[in-house]
Amino acid sequence: MNCQFSFGPNRSYFVTAGSVFAWSDDTLPPDLVRILEDEDLDCPYDVGLPMEPEHYTISWRTTSGEDWYEDERLGPNYTRLARFIQIAATAGSHTTLTTFGPNHSFFSLTPTGYSWQNIPPCLEEDIQRCLQVRRPSAVALGVQRTFIVIYSDGGLKYELGGEYPLVELIFRNEEETKRRGGVAYVALNPFIAGEFYLVYGDGRTLWNFPPEWSEDVAAVSTAIRPRPSRGEKIKMKAPSSEPEPTVCVLQQSDTEPSEMEKEVEEGEVLDITLQPT
């Protein structure tokens, strides 16, 4: 899917659908905002917001077609990710989806590989077991080591432990999910249980976060393209002057952000480069 939603510290967020994007007012790092507001920026490939304030990563394409990235604002806890970003750039590639979670965890994708650190062990085991037959297309990391992984064949694995009840309700409604083309993308808020952003395969979206975010997020979400069915060729057409409305769930959470654990847990870090088949 041509979309990404990043929950950040201090009630910040960034959302994109291709070259259409928006972010929270006055809460993103100023240096990141300067990049996003630069007239030379054509399309952000990937914007990731670690749980530590004032840190970020971004890769983007300029209006002249050049690819750029910023990895020096990740901080000392993500040297593995910085190296992964640099290796991808050297190979003429870039990250496409980077997500962060508690305990300095992350999962990052490029078109040809993956890198992760301190993700829940059962998630890591499932990814490693499946890599020969299917590939992760999106990973979400939430509070209390909760997670969701969406695979390239449309399969899902998740452990939410009751922390994101609306998401679990959506997943249990298999008939509606199938009618919508499956779940194509999910982001969990790693600071506040219950908050999420979800995209169906047909491009429709669901979310739960503060109502004041909704206008900008809805405007961006109308630019999300449906995911083609397996074996189906993408047919591009001019956008309608009246895009179909975005479906949204708004339920204000009473939960306050919990303090991030300051100690890094022991966890294997792994980079995988996929070979063409």
pLDDT at 227: 82
Of 250, 115, 236, nearest to 195 by C-alpha is: 250
In whole angstroms, how large is the CA radius of gyration of the chain? 18
Of 156, 251, 140, 246, nearest to 203 by C-alpha is: 246
pLDDT means over runs of 10, the chain (277 residues): 94 96 96 96 97 97 96 94 96 96 97 95 95 93 97 95 97 95 97 98 97 97 85 39 41 37 35 44
pLDDT at 234: 36
Dihedral of the alpha carbons of 208, 197, 61, 109, in degrees to the nearest 10: 140
Q: Where are the domains of the chain?
A: 3-273
Give the whole-angstrom CA distance, residue 151 versus residue 39: 35
Q: Is the pTM above the cut of 0.75? A: yes
pLDDT at 229: 64
Give the whole-angstrom CA distance, residue 203 versus residue 40: 28
